[in-house]
């Protein structure tokens, strides 16, 4: 690839098209056309050469290009799987398991790093100098050390925890040991689904209420309180569901013999990867939040105060909507970074997509196919994330009137 791009810069696309030939449409120069034709020929020739080499090399190694291996039994033992999986399953299924593992750590990581990052960013702007200095030092240390180092550190820390029998128990129901983290889980039964449904309905109701009140305010200038009715919807509906069908039961982890039973188990690898990604990314998110809020002109804050808005109203109605415009685009790239960085799981042995792909390549030798698969997956993930964030960005962007 490196050999192709150099022809790009010297391209002469004179706007005037001095060397324009009579039969060419206006604005298209012969020189530009020649450059592009040259580039095309170079790319095609390079591609031809590479493909030819690859064919010869693969033939020499007794391999043939194709995705047929995906249907063969993989024989890769995977400790963590969100869908049923045994080593007898196919490569396609093993890679799917890896993909889901990547997705799991990325989604949880994005949520947590946003929360932690916003908190750190606000702490960095606190009026308390001690808090400001502590947060600043912490952020600098995290930002200026490599993520690989941090991941290995967290993993080593997890492995230094006591054995299962002497598991640390910092909070009721939470156990930390060499085998990972155990937390209480909700049992998947109808009561849980009903409650989740009620929660979603409550959130939707609040949103509709807000919309109606905003329309009313635009039309009449009056605004009725929305916080209390909203909270009543959000909490009341699940409470009703619990009263009608029964509360979802919580499953507490309990020590039974040499291991825990019940509850949700997070492996040391997953936990180390999650903590590492969240801590690392949140430091960057904090800086983005801080600079976003500082980017809002001071006059805005003073004007809000002059209008008699309370501190909370000022933040919610004046500062944040403007800060979000500055915050969203760099935030998108941090989310993408987190997703891509989750591939570092291979360093500490969490079975993510890259790690399983790596094993598959070693077993089958189908390097080109496997690498294309996971590169395509990451590209798709990147595109979907940017698409979602762009939609959100459009919602908060400056509406020019």
Partner 1 sequence: MSATLAPAGPTFAELARGFLRACFSGPLNIAITLACLALLVAVVPPLLRWAVLDATWSGNAAACREAGGACWAFVREKFWFSIFGLYPYEERWRPGTMIAILVAMVLASCQRRFWNRWLMLAWLVAAPAMLVLMAGGVFGLPAVATRQWGGLTITGIIAVYGLALGYPLAIMLALGRRSELPLVRWFSTAIIECVRGVPLISLLFMAAIMLPLFLPEGVTLDRLARVLVAYTLFTAAYMAEVVRGGLQAMPRGQYEAADALGLSYAKKMRLVILPQALAITIPSQVNTFIGLFKDTTLVVVIGVFDFFTTLRAALGDPNWLGFPTEAYVFAATVYFVLCFAMSRYSQRLETTFRPGQR
Nearer to partner 1, 176 or 354 (CB): 354
Q: How far apart are CA 356 and CA 363, in angstroms?
A: 11
Could you report how far apart the first and last alpha carbons of the chain are, in Å? 46
User: Is 213:223 a contact under the CB 8 Å cutoff?
Assistant: yes
Closest CA to 258 of 157, 178, 173, 184: 178
Residues 101, 107, 108, 109: is their CA dihedral positive or negative? positive
Nearer to partner 1, 271 or 374 (CB): 374
User: Is 237:198 a contact under the CB 8 Å cutoff?
Assistant: yes
User: Is 214:222 a contact under the CB 8 Å cutoff?
Assistant: no
**Least CB distance to partner 1 at residue 146 (A):** 4
Nearer to partner 1, 167 or 354 (CB): 354
Q: How far apart are CA 283 and CA 285, in angstroms?
A: 5
**Least CB distance to partner 1 at residue 126 (A):** 7
Pairing, β 250-251 against β 185-186: antiparallel
Nearer to partner 1, 18 or 394 (CB): 18
Nearer to partner 1, 13 or 168 (CB): 13
**Least CB distance to partner 1 at residue 14 (A):** 7
Residues 25, 27, 28, 30: is their CA dihedral positive or negative? positive
**Least CB distance to partner 1 at residue 258 (A):** 25
User: Is 273:354 a contact under the CB 8 Å cutoff?
Assistant: no
**Least CB distance to partner 1 at residue 54 (A):** 5
Q: How far apart are CA 296 and CA 319, in angstroms?
A: 7
**Least CB distance to partner 1 at residue 385 (A):** 10
Nearer to partner 1, 50 or 244 (CB): 50
Contacts with partner 1 by CB under 8 A lie at 1-2, 4-6, 8-16, 32, 35-36, 39-40, 43, 50, 53-54, 56-58, 60, 126-131, 134, 140-141, 143-149, 152-153, 156, 340-341, 343-344, 346-347, 354, 357-358, 361, 367-368, 371, 374-375, 378-379, 382-383
User: Is 237:202 a contact under the CB 8 Å cutoff?
Assistant: yes
Q: How far apart are CA 72 and CA 365, in angstroms?
A: 13
Which single residue is written with the structure tokens 């908190």?
A: 119
**Least CB distance to partner 1 at residue 347 (A):** 6
Nearer to partner 1, 201 or 326 (CB): 326
Q: Bridge partners of 168? A: 176
Max Cα–Cα distance, the chain, nearest Å:
89
Nearer to partner 1, 24 or 209 (CB): 24
The string over 352-368, giving b where at least 16 C-beta atoms fall within 10 Å of a residue's C-beta and e elsewhere, is bbbbbbbbbbeebebee
Nearer to partner 1, 149 or 210 (CB): 149
Closest CA to 390 of 317, 315, 338, 335: 335
**Least CB distance to partner 1 at residue 320 (A):** 20
Nearer to partner 1, 233 or 353 (CB): 353
**Least CB distance to partner 1 at residue 240 (A):** 36
**Least CB distance to partner 1 at residue 89 (A):** 23
> Number of helices and strands (H, E) in the chain?
13, 8
Q: Which helix (H) or strand (E) holds 128?
A: none
């Amino acid at each position: 690839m490196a050999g192709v791009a150099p022809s790009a810069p010297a391209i002469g696309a004179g706007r005037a098209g001095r060397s324009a030939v009579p039969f060419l449409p206006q604005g298209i120069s012969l020189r530009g056309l020649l450059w592009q034709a040259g580039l095309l020929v170079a790319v095609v020739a390079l591609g031809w050469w590479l493909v030819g080499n690859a064919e010869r090399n693969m033939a020499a190694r007794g391999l043939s290009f194709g995705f047929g291996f995906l249907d063969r039994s993989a024989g890769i033992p995977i400790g963590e799987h969100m869908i049923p999986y045994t080593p007898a399953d196919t490569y396609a299924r093993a890679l799917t398991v890896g993909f889901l593992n990547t997705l799991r750590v990325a989604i949880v990581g994005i949520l947590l790093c946003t929360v932690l990052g916003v908190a750190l960013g606000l702490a960095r702007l606190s009026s308390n100098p001690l808090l400001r200095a502590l947060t600043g030092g912490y952020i600098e240390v995290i930002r200026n050390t490599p993520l690989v180092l941090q991941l290995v550190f967290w993993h080593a820390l997890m492995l230094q925890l006591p054995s299962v029998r002497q598991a640390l128990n910092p909070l009721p129901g939470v156990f930390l040991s060499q085998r990972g983290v155990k937390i209480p889980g909700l049992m998947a039964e109808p009561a849980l689904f009903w409650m989740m449904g009620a929660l979603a309905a409550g959130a939707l109701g609040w949103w509709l209420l807000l919309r109606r009140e905003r329309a009313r305010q635009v039309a009449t200038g009056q605004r009725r309180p929305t916080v209390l009715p909203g909270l009543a919807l959000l909490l009341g509906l699940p409470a009703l569901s619990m009263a009608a069908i029964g509360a979802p039961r919580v499953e507490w982890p309990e020590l039974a013999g040499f291991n825990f039973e019940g509850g949700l188990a997070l492996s040391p690898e997953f936990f180390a990867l999650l903590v590492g990604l969240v801590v690392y990314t949140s430091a960057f998110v904090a800086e983005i939040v801080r600079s976003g809020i500082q980017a809002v002109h001071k006059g805005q804050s003073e004007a809000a105060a002059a209008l008699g808005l309370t501190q909370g109203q000022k933040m919610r109605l004046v500062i944040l909507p403007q800060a979000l415009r500055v915050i969203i685009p760099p935030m998108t790239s941090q989310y993408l970074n987190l997703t891509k960085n989750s591939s570092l799981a291979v360093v500490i042995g969490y079975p993510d997509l890259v790690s399983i792909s790596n094993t598959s390549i070693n077993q089958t030798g189908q390097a080109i196919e496997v690498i294309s698969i996971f590169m395509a997956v990451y590209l798709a993930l990147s595109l979907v994330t940017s698409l979602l964030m762009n939609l959100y960005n459009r919602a908060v962007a400056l509406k020019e009137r």
